[in-house]
Every structure is written in structure tokens, then in C-alpha cells.
Amino acid sequence: LVRLRARLARSQNSLGKGLLTLLSREHLDEDTWEEIEETLLIADVGVVPTQELVERLRERVKVLGTRTPADLRALLKEELLTLIGTDFDRAVKTESGEDTPGVIMVVGVNGTGKTTTTGKLARVLVADGRSVVLGAADTFRAAAADQLQTWGERVGARTVRGPEGGDPASIAYDAVKEGIAEGADVVLIDTAGRLHTKTGLMDELGKVKRVVEKHGPLDEILLVLDATTGQNGLTQARVFAEVVDITGIVLTKLDGTAKGGIVVAVQRELGVPVKLVGLGEGPDDLAPFEPEAFVDALIG
């Protein structure tokens, strides 16, 4: 975790440090406030949250007698935390019933890191003592099932797969059936994310969801978003949210961007919390999203 935090800090500190430096200027004139606004927009915080934050900062700085670095840091930290939201339930739910495993569906556009995230999540769960079955329902991308199976072998989870181009819903169904037969704790289902037709996506994900729910409740539908894609990612999020009820967001590739503001923008957009963040390609590079640690990494 320490290593992950360090990595996050390296990628994100231009935003928070930039803000802190600007707020510390001797004269907080209009140009400076504009620069603060720009810094937030460049980091993908989004227009409305940026305006809100700048307004709050202006008000609070006004009533602040002195502007010591410690004062400013505390103030900025508090306001960024308010913006990110500290009262979301960010735990990934895996509530297995007596005879049924907890089921998590992982959705998102291809290339965002869906399969990798599914593998990393399996690893976290297995390390936590849970038995996991993987469902390779991304039958659209040829290598996805192999990739998932490799992850499964690495972490000690069985992978249920079907023929290439097979029916995702029937694979999802089989995976949950296998989970029940094995008495597994959690079934993770990787899905395909082609976006060229919304109806196609809707039909497919809707069907996967329905067959899974035949066995019992679905615990989570996690949407994987690539943090480096900015506004595009938000557009994708909107489409998926229309298709299925997203319960949590996984923001991947935060190691490769300084645009951590997307956390704020996407939560606003969907009204669901960022629960996990991807900070690299390796097996240990998935971390729970902790607002406080994130803001600390931002401010440096």
C-alpha cells in the first residue's frame, strides 16, 4: 500500500501542489484565481465542481486572517475531501448467501483494463481467504478468455469459459452454477465492452445480468473506466449507466495520468462512488479508493 501511495503521489502531485502554490501567492488576484480554475479543469475535475470549489476557496481564504502554508494545506485538504465525498460506502460487496456465492459483474469499454481489474480483484479476494470462480464472458475480444484464465491460474481461481464468440450470458450462467457447485465465495464475471451499438450492449449486458440473477442477487456491477480518457470516459460512463445499474467505479491507469480530478467528475456524473483504483499493470496494483490518502497524495 505504501508503494501504491507513492506511485499515486508521483502521478498526482502536480494538481494539488499546483493549487497549493497558487493559493500561497502573496496577492490572490483575479489572474491567480483563474489559474486555480484552469488547474482544476486541466485535471478533469469538471466545470461545475471546479466552480463550486473555487467559490468555496475564495470565501474561506477571505476570512482566513493569515495564510500560513499549514493553514492553506488544511483548508485545501478539507475542501477537496468535501468535493470527493467522505460518506460514500466504498467497500466492494461480496455477500455470499448460504448456498450462493456473491456475484460481481465487471463492465466497461474494451481496453480500459476490465480483464486486468477482474484478475487483480480475484487476487485480492483470494488473498483475503475467499474462494473465487471467474467467468470469461468477454467472448468478443479473442484473447480475453486466455488472459483471464492466466490470471485465474496465477491467483488460484477456476475460470469458466466458452467457445470464442459464444454467448456471454450462457457463460455467466455456467460460471455462477460452477460457483454454487464448488461452494465458492465469489464469482467475478468479465464482460465484453464494445460500444458501437448501444442496443447491442444493452441486450448483452441486460441478458448477462438477468441470467446471473436467476441464481440469486447480484452484489455489484463495477464499471471500469480508464482515467486517462477524460471526457470520453465520462461519455462512456453515461452510456453504461443507462444500460445497467452501476454500483461502483474502478478508475484504472491513475498511475499514467495527473488528471486525478476525474474521480470527482465521474462520481458526480453517476452518483456512485469510485471504489477501487488501478495503479499499474501488475497483480498488486489495485487499491481501495481512500479519499484521505488520495487527497494527501494530491497535495503532497
229 is in an annotated binding site: no
> Residue number with the shortest CB distance to ligand GDP?
278
Comparison of 185 and 285: residue with beta carbon closer to ligand GDP: 285
Least separation in angstroms between residue 64's CB and ligand GDP is: 38
Comparison of 44 and 255: residue with beta carbon closer to ligand GDP: 255
Comparison of 278 and 291: residue with beta carbon closer to ligand GDP: 278
108 is in an annotated binding site: yes
* Interaction site with ligand GDP (CB under 6 A): 108, 110-116, 141, 144, 252-253, 255-256, 278-281, 285
254 is in an annotated binding site: yes
Sequential DSSP letters for the chain: -HHHHHHHHHHHHHHHHHHHHHHTSS---HHHHHHHHHHHHHTT--HHHHHHHHHHHHHHHHH-S---HHHHHHHHHHHHHHHH-S-S--PPP----SSS-EEEEEE--TTSSHHHHHHHHHHHHHHTT--EEEEEE--SSTTHHHHHHHHHHHHT-EEE---TT--HHHHHHHHHHHHHHHT-SEEEEEE----S-HHHHHHHHHHHHHHHHHHS---EEEEEEEGGGHHHHHHHHHHHHHHS---EEEEE-GGG-S-TTHHHHHHHHHS--EEEEE-SSSTT-EEE--HHHHHHHHH-
190 is in an annotated binding site: yes
193 is in an annotated binding site: yes
Least separation in angstroms between residue 285's CB and ligand GDP is: 6
Comparison of 108 and 260: residue with beta carbon closer to ligand GDP: 108
Least separation in angstroms between residue 56's CB and ligand GDP is: 31
Least separation in angstroms between residue 252's CB and ligand GDP is: 4
Comparison of 84 and 106: residue with beta carbon closer to ligand GDP: 106
Least separation in angstroms between residue 117's CB and ligand GDP is: 6
Question: From the annotation, which residues make up the binding site?
Answer: 108-115, 190-194, 252-255
Return binding residues for GTP.
108-115, 190-194, 252-255
